[in-house]
A and B are shown apart, each in its own frame.
Chain A
Amino acid sequence: MQAATRREQKVVTRDRLVNAGMALFARKGIVETTTADVARSIRMSHGVVFLHFPRRDDLVIAVIDEFGRRLAAEFRHAFEQDLGLRAVLQAHLRVLAEFEPFYARLVTEAPMLPPKVRSTLMMLHAAVSARMFTALERERKAGRARRFERPLLFNTWIGLVHHYLVNRDVFATGESVIAEQGETLVNHFMTLVKP
């Protein structure tokens, strides 16, 4: 019983750290944030942070993994319902909106981040690309979309989305560029894939 409580406590602490890391990375920037900063932001001892995340990058990857899990759940739902490409794009944006300030920092700083962090982000992109291509092929077979090379299908979408995210201060009047521009981007992309 006590062991179970300790395990639960460990999960709670880890979740607090991931949330605090996500918030601080978004506010201060990933490159500029240390695990000591994260510890201070939630009044936790640095030792506890170190136990869960020995390196700053371990914490960054944990946040990216959390993003990936949310995305997988949204995509699973879209595919179970046999929804089309539009639903996949909307699912992608829905999760991006949840992580928007962190994600915008991540893509802005990506070229400066260590290989493991960048590779993790690119692996996440690979999973989105796979989902998009599967959905496009279904639409194409039903005569609702034209053929696209898989890398360019994804790169066209992510290039568009990232441009708005990186420059979110000039594309949105409020906090979220995805909330304000997301549907426009989806509509535009769907016109591009029409046969």
Chain B
Amino acid sequence: MAEKCPACGSCGMPMEKPEDYALGDVTRAYCRHCTDARGELLPYEQVLETNARFYVESQGVTPAAATAMARAMLADMPAWRGRH
């Protein structure tokens, strides 16, 4: 098995380097994309939009499909579990 690195508790992105973490702090639970300038977790809708955009920009899927996939990805993440 490959060596495991921590994953963001909001979006699941693997955090391999200090700069992947919020504020470059490896003790943080979330990645730099899911947090603001103070290291605080962004609102759900904003994280959803960022993740959906990633699908669109990388593969050209429709915005509606991208949002549905992003929602499915976030549903089980510790930060958003039980949200609905």
Spell out A's residues near B (CB within 8 Å). Answer: 15, 18, 66, 68-70, 72-73, 76, 114-116, 118-120, 122-123, 125-126, 129-130, 149-152, 154-155
* Most interface-central of A15, A119, A130 (chain B CB within 10 A): A119
Of A15, A73, A119, which is within 8 A of B69 by CB?
A119
List chain B positions with a Cβ less than 8 A from chain A. 1-5, 12, 14, 16, 54-61, 68-70, 72-73, 75-76
CA distance A118 to B66 in the complex (A): 11
* A126→B61 CA distance, assembly (Å): 11
B58 contacts A126, C-beta separation under 8 Å: yes
Assuming the contacts A18-B1, A68-B14, A72-B14, asked whether A123 and B60 have C-beta atoms less than 8 A apart, the reply is no
What are the residues of chain B within 8 A of A123 when measuring CB–CB? 12, 54-55, 69, 73
Partner of B60, one of A72, A119, A152: A152
Shortest beta-carbon contacts, A-B, top 8: A151-B60, A129-B58, A126-B58, A115-B72, A119-B69, A69-B2, A119-B72, A119-B73
Give the total number of A-B pairs whose CB atoms are below 8 A apart.
62
10 A-B pairs with C-beta separation under 8 A: A18-B1, A73-B3, A116-B76, A120-B73, A122-B69, A125-B58, A126-B58, A150-B58, A151-B59, A154-B59
Task: State the Cβ distance, B53 to closest chain A Cβ, in Å.
Answer: 10
B68 cross-chain contacts in A, Cβ below 8 A:
115
CB of B1 within 8 A of CB of A122, answer: no
Are B57 and A151 in contact (CB-based, < 8 A)? Answer: yes
A66-B2, A126-B54 in contact; A118/B69 too (CB < 8 A)? Answer: yes
**Most interface-central of A18, A66, A69, A154 (chain B CB within 10 A):** A69
A15 touches B54 (CB 8 A): no
B5 contacts which chain A residues (CB < 8 A)?
69
Decide yes or no: A69 and B73 within 8 Å by CB, A76-B16, A125-B59, A150-B58 being known contacts. no
Known interface pairs A125-B59, A126-B54, A151-B59; A66-B72 also in contact (CB < 8 Å):
no
What separation, in Å, do the CA atoms of A89 and B14 have in the docked complex?
21
